[in-house]
Structure 1
């Protein structure tokens, strides 16, 4: 009876082993759908459908931060490299759910006995019983590691999105700063050209001319540096999007937006980070898996390799022997202490990694939140204080320059400081958005405040446009002087100024203004051919309908002194100030 049951038991054992092994299979789509769900749940959209067609559409239109992220998720090698980790983890799950292959053995032994009929033949097959014992625990550990790998891939995807967004803001800020500094460089060159004409006329010395030329060169160097930063930032964004250098013809969709109306509270962000940081969740899952493995090692420390075998032999006399076998490792010299110590060290490392990531999460959020608040305060201080103050200085100096109480170069220096304030403002806005992007990464999901209506986009050209009116010298005719100041900031509107025979030294407060050369007490603009018709900043403001010019009426009553005959260019009869002279806007 027993002999009849043995074949059945052997068959049942084989079927059980095959059944356990058949349960193992590769996870569907290698876990990509789970990663996508985790990323989308944290506010980051993922590309779907025909990605090649989608990429072409996005590159054909102005590039927004969201579109740049989509292109990176389609093309970036970093995404493919990270996703490959899912395949490795899925393979570990597959292998962990299968036992080792059985080992087949065969032998042929000959005998020196002349009576031996044939050689001794032995056949056997052995299977690791230890694999069967540890199969469930090993499978659970591999699945936990696979879950951790999916979380890590999701975290890497969100980090890449943050890096692309930061690169977009860096490029937008660099482009706007380059626009501003290019305009400043053109204005500085116009100032240097004006200084050269003043030097030729003998109104400034060599040192002052050298200072103006050096300032113009410095402004040009700043513009070149800003343009180089644009190229560097553009290359960085192109690389993050996974595009080759030959596919960089895209353009950004606008510049930096203004700061949002409201910001998030720190306590709410800390709570969100504890719930949404995928890297923390991955470290927690890994620590749980390692803790389970450590418990198993400690319980089975004395259990060594166990093999089940089945052998069949045929002796030299033709008789056959058949039967099962077992081999067990005896824990005589090694009690598994090393395995337990290794598992404990791995557990300590996993728990330390979890603690470090939890600390990083909370501190990253707090630091990034503080950076956002600081950057916002900087933006507000520039916008509400420094820029209005610099503009007020330029407006006041504009009035003084129009009445020749100060020199043109002093006005240009004030205008340069105004441009510096604009540049600092753009940098502060850029830093604000970079800080918000870092805060998004630290929290691990889209910020609640991001749902606010989009803020207005800053325009560097609008910032750089000279502000303030100018003096209406429509009948004062600087056209005879030959100075074209049309590109100088803050000097718009000196169109048609004709100072022929117009010595303003007799006007109250205008005695020999800005006199640089004692040898030339007065300057006859009519004889020098200065054309100031296009200087920026001297544009006459348009009067309202019916308004007159009280200042013009006052000046027509003022006497005009004769210029000394010894210093005047071609002699001519002095004439009074024309009745059409107008100082509208002051």
Structure 2
């Protein structure tokens, strides 16, 4: 009968411990919602081969068209395997939350002894009953840890989105620069071929011909260097998108990168960043967790374990003898002071980390905004002054050449200067695009 009563008690405990918790899907959906609110596309957590196959189909479809920045983000968010690893942290934290709500399993013991024609069998069960009191505290800790992890994963997603935007800008501009410089190289080549013919005809000193040859060779080296940089930038983009094999043969959209004057002012951006940044919210949850952990350590410092035991003994020829017992730890050597002190130190550490995070975020906002304004002004000057001035110079030189007032070398040189100005403008545009991506992440949302 004692065993039946024990089974009923265990069933009651199981019922009390079986309260519902947030599922992995619910946690991931919450992260997805956080990132959507900050301007990013839907996430996808690959957990089965069938889901992986569907992602491959989506990636193939997106790559069948010229690659835009928007589709770059879509591919990265569903196909980047570093992000997929990060999503699994949600599963780990959620599993730990479930585990925190469970009591330790009862210990079932059985022994049998024989002697002098007598057989004694003993059946025992031990239950860590005090676990039931600490389950709400442990569940609170597990819930805070899960929330902290959700914010941390969301922040990782936004960082990855920023990196994907910057990588797309680098790769697209590197390809455009390499293509643009090929036309400059043709101008150098034309100058060199003309110089060789003039030198052969005796109309150009050898020294001048060698100078033109050296200039052409330097231009050829520069073209090779740009092609190498293009390959490196493209592979950096391939890695962040998780592409390989035939997937890497995509072409970029011909749609140009846009330079728009920032429509925001520095005023209010620091406050927005503090409210919106997910790493800030993760740091705040870390403080809550440390505080709850310190409270848990304080409450359990003297009485962390209590075990109830039931033994049922049966000896041959005698009635069954049942024994009920309790086991309590006696705080003689360890009063839990070390655990309490450690948890308090961890709490203080998390508070200082939160303060440091807030200070750093504010600094990043000011720095990021200044960088965006400076890069915009530089890009504007290249587009509106330097490129247009070199274009007008080239047009004037063309008129002089047509009137035989300037030679072919002057025309070719001005063509090269115009092409180089356009390349410098591309670099400035790329710097502006990356500064914009950085600031959007820094303030925790779109500009």
TM over 0.5: yes
Q: How far apart are residue 221 of structure 1 and its match?
A: 1.3
Residues 1:346 and 2:346 are matched in the alignment? yes
Q: How far apart are residue 384 of structure 1 and its match?
A: 3.0
2:17 corresponds in structure 1 to 21
Distance in 1 between the 2:381 and 2:24 partners? 55
Q: How far apart are residue 170 of structure 1 and its match?
A: 0.8
Choose 368-377 or 342-351, whichever is displaced more.
342-351
Residues 1:90 and 2:94 are matched in the alignment? yes
The aligned runs of 1:242-257 (5 Å cut-off) are: 242-257=242-257
Q: Deviations 1:415-474 (Å, cap 9, x if unpaired)?
A: 433332221111001110011011111122222xxxxxxxxxxxxxxxxxxxxxxxxxxx
Matched residue of 1:122: which SS? strand
1:33 corresponds in structure 2 to 29
Choose 328-337 or 19-28, whichever is displaced more.
19-28
Matched residue of 2:124: which SS? strand
2:421 corresponds in structure 1 to 421
Distance in 1 between the 2:246 and 2:264 partners? 41
Q: Is the 8 A contact 1:20 1:98 kept in 2?
A: no
Q: How far apart are residue 245 of structure 1 and its match?
A: 3.2
Q: Is the 8 A contact 2:199 2:205 kept in 1?
A: yes
1:379 corresponds in structure 2 to 379
Q: Is the 8 A contact 1:118 1:318 kept in 2?
A: no
Distance in 1 between the 2:200 and 2:276 partners? 70
Q: How far apart are residue 28 of structure 1 and its match?
A: 5.2
What TM-score, normalized to structure 1? Answer: 0.70
Distance in 1 between the 2:29 and 2:105 partners? 32
Q: How far apart are residue 405 of structure 1 and its match?
A: 4.9
What TM-score, normalized to structure 2? Answer: 0.91
Q: How many residues align?
A: 439
Residues 1:281 and 2:278 are matched in the alignment? no
Q: Is the 8 A contact 2:187 2:415 kept in 1?
A: no
Q: How far apart are residue 25 of structure 1 and its match?
A: 5.5
Q: Is the 8 A contact 2:17 2:135 kept in 1?
A: no
- Structure 2: tracts of 5 or more residues without a match: 45-50
Residues 1:64 and 2:60 are matched in the alignment? no
Q: How far apart are residue 91 of structure 1 and its match?
A: 0.6
Distance in 2 between the 1:288 and 1:173 partners? 45
2:104 corresponds in structure 1 to 100
Q: How far apart are residue 267 of structure 1 and its match?
A: 2.2
CA RMSD across the alignment: 2.5
1:142 corresponds in structure 2 to 142
Q: CA distance change for structure 1 residues 415 and 83 in 2, over 3 Å: closer, same or farther? A: same
Matched residue of 2:203: which SS? coil
Specify which of 49, 74, 77 is matched with residue 78 of structure 2: 74
Distance in 1 between the 2:22 and 2:399 partners? 80
Residues 1:301 and 2:301 are matched in the alignment? yes
Q: Is the 8 A contact 2:379 2:428 kept in 1?
A: yes
Q: Is the 8 A contact 2:180 2:423 kept in 1?
A: yes
Distance in 2 between the 1:19 and 1:47 partners? 35
Q: Deviations 1:466-513 (Å, cap 9, x if unpaired)?
A: xxxxxxxxxxxxxxxxxxxxxxxxxxxxxxxxxxxxxxxxxxxxxxxx
